[in-house]
Structure formats: structure tokens, C-alpha cells
Structure 1
Amino acid sequence: MSTTDHDAARAAHGLTRSVAGSVTPRPALSLLPVYAAGKPPRPAEGLTPYKLSSNENPLGPVPAVEQALAEVDTVHRYPNPGAEALRAVLAETLEVPEEDIVTGTGSLGALTQIINAFAGTGPDGAADEVLYAWRSFEAYPIVVRTAGARDVAVPVTEDGRHDLPAMLAAITDRTRVILLCTPNNPTGPALRHQEVVDFLAQVPRDVVVVIDEAYQEFLRIDDPVDTLALYRERPNVVVLRTFSKAHGLAALRVGYSIASQEVTQHLRKVAVPFGVSTLGEVAAIASLRALDEVTARVQNLVQERQRVRDALLEAEWNVPDAQGNFIWLPLRDHAGDFAHEAGLRALAVRAFDGDGVRVSIGESEANDRLIELCRTYTRKS
């Protein structure tokens, strides 16, 4: 068939080519927000630049990881298809069946598997719904809309917490997945176990509830959510975790979900083969086998987080309860201005226009510089 005949056939079915015959993406892409990664710091004379914009672990991985990576000599071979060696160590560490673990390229990759498996466009042509708090992890709407589902964002409370009653009220017969981010990125507060138990008791059993715990190692609250207990009790609960934060393996992209086999059997169908590299698998295993050292590094960051928050509270800043490796400054319309002022001091922070600024806990010198900026900055919320 010639190009002209092909165009005529498309026209007969109500299809037209784009201007000048250029290729175009599917219409849904026009609705996608653009993920904005944390920017690197700008140089400033006489100052060491620090990146506090991506919630990275400034301490890096433990020495055992570096040693394990140096011994890898199989980069010319494909990795394990489903990171079987890592899953075995995770199963032993967490005391869960290997079959309940599905790995992915970071927790975002693992989340994408969940959304692709359980939300999209239904047989009737209508979009399924995925419910989450907002502001929360900015990749949520991107993943949801890419799958063809509709995202339903429920505003967080004034102190940055999930509004669980409002989330329950937003559930409809189209709701397929609910995302709970604890501690919530970027605002910081964490959910407590009993409130999640009460929440789950009112969620239909056929709705998948994902508890995103990217920062769970940094939690220091009474009654934290015991996600492993919840997943054992409820087949519709999925736990989402990563090696990017506490373990300091952000560049290697290793994450995983834990769920009943009622769920994981479907996740494996949409998982990208070889999604976790050999380097990522080896590094994650080495880090798991050095958990005491990992925990000590996390405690160092937790102490720095508390020091920074205490200093800002003393300076009369409104800082929500910080339970990740970051703090949140609800500056609203002044977010961009504050980020600019931080940039002049060789600090890269993450501004969310109209909402606030998220600042990762970094090296002590970087944290000291942030505290000094906040003490002199006049547009506090």
C-alpha cells in the first residue's frame, strides 16, 4: 500500500496524520507533569558546594559494598532475571517468603510494576483511579497517568500529614490502588500503625494499598507502621522499599515490593527482565550483610536532622515533624526565592513552587550553612 493509500485508509477510519507527517505521542502524554530531579549546586566563591536537593545519603554506602563491587567480574553477562540472590537474602533478613518479594529498578520501578498490573483503563473504556495524598512523591501522577489511569490527589493537612478521613471519602467504585507514603516525601511526617489499621478496615478488600516506605529506616516515632505485619494480615497490602536512601545506593537503582503471592504473581508479569543489575544486586546483598554499619550511619543522619530541625524551630520556623532524611519548609510562594538565596550560598535545595522547599540532610558544614541562612532569611511562613 502506498503512503497516499495508507493515509486514505486512515482517513476512512477517522484518523488523520499530524502536521507535515511528523510522529506524535499518544494524547495522554500531554497530561503528564515533568519529573524535576534535584539540581546540582552552583559554585560560589570561597564556599564548598553541597547538593541538598535529592534526598541522597551523603555518607554513601558502607565499605563492604565498595569491596563487593570491586570483585564483580561478570559485567559482560546478564544479571539474574529476577534478582534471585538478593531476594533470598531479603527473605532471610525480613523473615518473609522469597515468592513475596519482587525487585525493581528502585522503588519507583517497583511502584510502576504495581500500577501497571492493577490500574489503567477498564474494559468499559473508563479510567481506573489511583488515590494518594498531595503533596507527596512527585512521580506518582506520572506513573499513574502513563498507565492510563486517573490520579486522585487528596491534599495533606496543614502540618503535612495524610488526611486519611478525606482519602477514605475519595474512594469510589473506580478506585483500584491507594498510595500511602510514610514518611511522606516531601513534607516529612509519618503515619502511625493504629491509624493505618483503622484506615485499612474501611478500604474495600479489592483495592490495592501500597505503603511506600522509601525512608522507613529514618523513622523515630512511637507506634510506627508495622508494614510487614499488615501485609501478612491483608492480601491487598503491598510494602514498597528501596536501597537508594539509607543504604546509599541511589545510582544502582535497587528497590523491591513485598506482598502476598495473590499480588506478586501479577507483578512478575509486568516486571522488566534483568531490572536489577549485577552490580546493584551484589551491592544490596553486601549492604544487608552489614546492617549494623548501615544503621549507625542512619543514626548519624537522624541526629543531624534533629539538630537542624531544633535550630529552625528555635529560629521560629514552621517545620513539620521530620521523619525522613530531609526537612520541609512550607514557604509557599516564597519557595523559589528561598531556593535562589540558598543557591547563592552554594546550596542546592528542592523548591516546589507554591508549596515549599525540601532540604535534604547533608554534611555537617552544609547543614550549618542552611541553619545560618534560615536565621537571616526574613520571609518565614
Structure 2
Amino acid sequence: MMTHTRPAPRPLVASLPVYSKAGGTVPPRWRASSNESFLPPSPAVLAAIEEAASHCQRYPSLQGDPLVAALSAQLGVAPEQLVTGAGSLAVLQQLLTAFTGPGTEVVFAWRSYEAYPILVRLAGALDVAVPLAPGHRHDLDAMAGAITESTAAVILCSPNNPTGTVLADAELDAILDRIPPHIVVVLDQAYLEFTDDTGASSARIVALLANHPNLVILRTFSKAYGLAGLRAGYLVTHPDVAAHVRAVSPPFGLNAVAEAAAVAALADDAALAANVATVVEGRTALATALADRGLTLPDSGANFLWLPVGDGSASLEMACLAEGVSVRCFAGEGVRVTVGSRDAEAAVLRAVDAWLAAGNDR
């Protein structure tokens, strides 16, 4: 007699961490949990989206060609140095597929972006998570010390998600000099536009890549450009590294609407500057208000703030939900709050006041 069983996944699937989501069962009035832009795309971007959508019966370009051309011109790099995809997360997965795998290790700071261990394990590699240093910053000495003969890649996240801390130029230069040239170094700059770091300049990118052919810079249109729902991102690196990533990337990986929106957003400097200015103003005001309430926060270079409240994280999340605003809780560690509308920030402050009044420790 035939025995019917369900299909079994690969053994590693059971080991994958679960990507967290905002708590609560009632939809919040405000979302401060996903680091999205609360500002809509500019009229120019919306027009590009509408035009592209009217032709959605057609395939997009094979490799995001119009966006590659626009990025090449803006960054001052060759088109062969660029790979686009459905968000920087998808591009990172393709990079890890190309350069890591069984028997290799990937070193990254922790806590950092929670997708890293998921993608590393999916690639078949071992994730090596190095605890953050005091101040919620990358412990670069410890990360360098964690490199072994099996290390295939090192991931640096700056600004770091969820702590918001930024690697200074001198720190980045120093760690790049310490990592052997056969190891891929991923510099995840999803939130760079919200910093005052000179790393945003094309001259800095060109110089870094010239000095470090093993460096891969990741960027996204999901945050400062406000296109999280369309999924567009890219990497820039040495042409040989980019070629290997393209070899494992699916064709038509960037949909036509996302491609058109990203090209238009890239050209709309005024909208980007206005969005960033609004976020930075809100970030400063919210950080000041939280500090006035006795909370100690690390300086953030991103569109969010990190509240390292430890065991009080879950109760603070619930207090925020009671005020109609979702935040991201990392149980036992802290709460990440996306800078949003001023009404959302006021709701967070009311929640913090209630949380403190209930006797919770700062």
C-alpha cells in the first residue's frame, strides 16, 4: 500500500530565523516599524510609474538597463560595475549565492539587519555574528579577528540597522585594509542618504572601489527615495565581481514599473533633498524629546532611532500600539522607531510617557 507523505524541505529550512514583524492584531493608525518613507513619491516619479504601468504587458529590460545607465552617469562608474535587482536584499542574495556556499563563513555584526543570517544560511554558508561594541557600534577589531580560512564574505552595515550607528570614513578605510583581498566585503548603505557621511559622494565610491576590488556597495530606493513598495536596489563593485553576480541573477529581475520609478527618482534631486531634510528634522526632534525623558540613545544616521531598553522592549511596543503606532521590537534588546509624521512621533512620545509612568526602567 502506498504511503502518502508531504514533501520535506531541505534540512536548513528549519534553522532559518523568522523575519520579525510589528506586533499587535489591530492595524495601527501609524506605522513606525518598517523604516518606510511616510512621504509619497514626487509628481515626476508618479508620472513615470503611470506611464510604465500602461505598458506592463511587456517585459522590462533584461538587467535594468535604463537604471544602470542612469546610475553609471550619476556615480561615475562603468555600467559593467553595476547590478540591479528587486531591492538591495535580492541583490545581496545573488551576491552570496555567487561567492559563498557550503564550507564557507560570512562574518557580520550583531545585532544588525535581521535578513543577514537568513540569506547566509540559504546560501549554505555559516553565519558568524560578532556582538556589537559599546555604543551599539560595529566591533571592527572583533570582526577582523573572526575571519578564518573559511571566511568568504564580511558584511558591514552603515548606518547599521537597527541601531543607526555609522562607520566613519577612517574606520571603514582601516577595516578594508585589514580584510584579505580574496574575501568579499559588503558595505550595506541602505540608509546612507540620511547621514552627513562623505561616503555618499561619487568620488568616494570611485576611490574605494579602485583601492579595494573586493568591495561591494549595496544601495536601495526603498528608503530615502520612497519606493519600498516597488522593490528596486543595486550594487556597485569591480566589473569582475559584478559579472559573477549577474551570472546567478534571474533575467528581468527588476520590474518595469520599479525601473521607471527609480530612474525618475534618481533624477529628482529636489524631492530627495526635501524628503531627507524632513526626516532629519523629525529625527533630531524625536531624539531630543526622548533624551529629555531620560532615555539614552545612540546617534542615528538613518531614518529611525534605536531605543535600547532591554527587557522593557516588549512592554514599550505594547504601549506604542495602545497609542495607535507600530514599532519594531527586538525582544530583550530594544525598540526601533521609524521617523515619520509628526503625529506618529507625538504618539510614540505619549507611549513612552505612559511606559515610564508604569514604572519601566530607562
- TM-score under structure 1 normalisation? 0.90
Structure 2 residue 33 is matched with structure 1 residue 53: yes
Candidates 203, 213, 218, aligned match of 2:189: 213
Structure 2 residue 311 is matched with structure 1 residue 327: no
Superposition pairs for residues 264-275 of structure 1, below 5 Å? Answer: 264-275=242-253
Q: What is residue 80 of structure 1 aligned with on the other side?
A: 61
- Greater Cα shift, 176-185 or 56-65: 56-65
Candidates 152, 158, 172, aligned match of 2:128: 152
How big is the shift at 1:36? 2.0
Candidates 69, 88, 91, aligned match of 1:107: 88
Candidates 19, 39, 48, aligned match of 1:68: 48
Candidates 108, 111, 129, aligned match of 2:105: 129
Structure 2 residue 159 is matched with structure 1 residue 183: yes
Q: What is residue 344 of structure 2 aligned with on the other side?
A: 366
How big is the shift at 1:137? 0.3
Q: What is residue 32 of structure 1 aligned with on the other side?
A: 16
Superposition pairs for residues 219-298 of structure 1, below 5 Å? Answer: 219-220=195-196, 226-298=204-276
Distance change >3 Å, CA 40–CA 293, structure 1 → 2: farther
User: In the alignment, is the contact (CA less than 8 A) between 2:314 and 2:329 conserved in 1?
Assistant: yes
Please tell me whether Structure 1 or Structure 2 has the larger radius of gyration of its CA atoms.
1
Q: What is residue 318 of structure 2 aligned with on the other side?
A: 340
Q: What is residue 356 of structure 1 aligned with on the other side?
A: 334
Question: Which amino acid counterpart does residue 57 of structure 1 have in structure 2?
Answer: S
Structure 2 residue 26 is matched with structure 1 residue 42: yes
- What secondary structure sits across from 2:129 in the alignment? strand
Give distance in 1, aligned partners of 2:38 and 2:71.
24
Q: Percent identity?
A: 41
Give distance in 1, aligned partners of 2:198 and 2:184.
26
Deviations 1:289-312 (A, max 9, x none): 112221111111111001100111
Give distance in 1, aligned partners of 2:227 and 2:22.
16
Unaligned runs of 5+ in 2: none
- What secondary structure sits across from 2:178 in the alignment? coil
Distance change >3 Å, CA 40–CA 333, structure 1 → 2: closer
User: In the alignment, is the contact (CA less than 8 A) between 1:56 and 1:244 conserved in 2?
Assistant: yes
Question: Which amino acid counterpart does residue 196 of structure 2 have in structure 1?
Answer: R
Give distance in 1, aligned partners of 2:51 and 2:127.
44
- What secondary structure sits across from 1:220 in the alignment? coil
User: In the alignment, is the contact (CA less than 8 A) between 2:83 and 2:246 conserved in 1?
Assistant: yes
How big is the shift at 1:129? 0.2
Q: What is residue 290 of structure 2 aligned with on the other side?
A: 312
Give distance in 1, aligned partners of 2:25 and 2:8.
35
User: In the alignment, is the contact (CA less than 8 A) between 2:316 and 2:351 conserved in 1?
Assistant: no
How big is the shift at 1:332? 1.4
User: In the alignment, is the contact (CA less than 8 A) between 2:222 and 2:229 conserved in 1?
Assistant: yes
Superposition CA RMSD, Å: 1.8
User: In the alignment, is the contact (CA less than 8 A) between 1:86 and 1:285 conserved in 2?
Assistant: yes
How big is the shift at 1:333? 1.4
How big is the shift at 1:65? 0.5
How big is the shift at 1:39? 5.6
- What secondary structure sits across from 1:132 in the alignment? strand
How big is the shift at 1:190? 0.4
How big is the shift at 1:229? 2.5
- What secondary structure sits across from 1:350 in the alignment? strand
Distance change >3 Å, CA 239–CA 41, structure 1 → 2: farther
Segments ≥4 residues shifted beyond 6 Å: 222-225
Q: What is residue 161 of structure 1 aligned with on the other side?
A: 137
Q: How many residues align?
A: 356
Candidates 149, 161, 168, aligned match of 1:192: 168
